[in-house]
Amino acid sequence: MAKTYQWLPRKNNTGRRGLEVTTSGTLEWAFVPMGKKRETTVFLNQKVARKDIEKSSDIVDVVPSRTSFGGLYPVVIKAKAIGDTTLTVGGARLKIAVHPRRTVKVAFRNVLNDPAGTASDWKTKFTDKDVLRMLGVANAIYSWQGNLRFEPVGAVQAVKSEIVGAQEPEDFKDHVDPKAHVTTFFVDDYGGSGPGAWARSWKKLILLEAGIKKNVFDLVFCHEMGHFLGLPHPTGTPYKNLMNQTSKAATYGGRHRYGSNLIRSQIETIVQPCKWKNPGKHKCST
């Protein structure tokens, strides 16, 4: 009697590459980055020999493991060529997409919301070290879910807003770096944005309030970057999804307020540079 296999996410596993996976369900699709030492690990509910795995093309190389984790068996998928393919094991089919590396250039600006101020009065004082930390988190999330790489455009610069209490992203449009895909502005306060700290994004701009809590600041930046890449807030609350509205934290008792997951449709969007324009205007509470 032939075995019946299922592709399953490992329960309570955060993944080998910083990804978070759902605790139940059957996988139907997987993303594999293209490049040196790029791979994705999925799981089978039964041990399988390499000879029993059928590949529909030469796009990926598959290495099953003999060691189980929680009753599931890892299968490492390594990219060999760009394209789409399907793995089949005992009738269990897994669609796979392999994409090349794409680079997103990001500029950063400290802002003084006071035309009368001087250079020593900048209200935000983020450093190049802060930027590298933020981009490191973004690369950890997006490199394995879209094969995107974020790089800074020069050092952090300081600009003066011509509008006191500027609130809208378009108030900063004259300071967008033409060499960057998107420019991130650190602001002290929007003025009138309400209690708590906020983040906003529109077209090629991202605004981050300095008051956003340190333990989530980098993820909020990644969330706003998702808007730039063409992602809206999802319908419902997908498990630990990066684009969830943070105000829906109560859905998970607050423990899963910020996640790093992207679902298939989101990944299929961000790998298309033509979608990198964030036509909507987003205001996100933190």
- Structural domains in the chain, CATH included, are 7-99 (2.60.40), 102-285 (3.40.390)
Residues in the chain: 286
What pLDDT is recorded for position 135? 94
H or E element at residue 198: strand 198-202
What's the mean pLDDT in 76-102?
86
CA atoms of 168 and 22, how far apart (whole Å): 36
86 C-beta neighbours (distance < 10 Å), count: 15
Confidence of residue 278 (pLDDT cuts 50, 70, 90): low
CB 231 within 8 A of CB 264: no
CB 94 within 8 A of CB 7: yes
What pLDDT is recorded for position 282? 58
H or E element at residue 29: strand 29-33
What's the mean pLDDT in 201-220?
83
pLDDT of 94 over the 80 cut: yes
Highest mean pLDDT among 161-170, 188-197, 200-209, 239-248: 200-209
What pLDDT is recorded for position 116? 52
CA atoms of 130 and 110, how far apart (whole Å): 12
DSSP state of 130: H
pTM of the model: 0.80
Angle value at C-alpha 73, between 71 and 78, nearest 5 degrees: 160
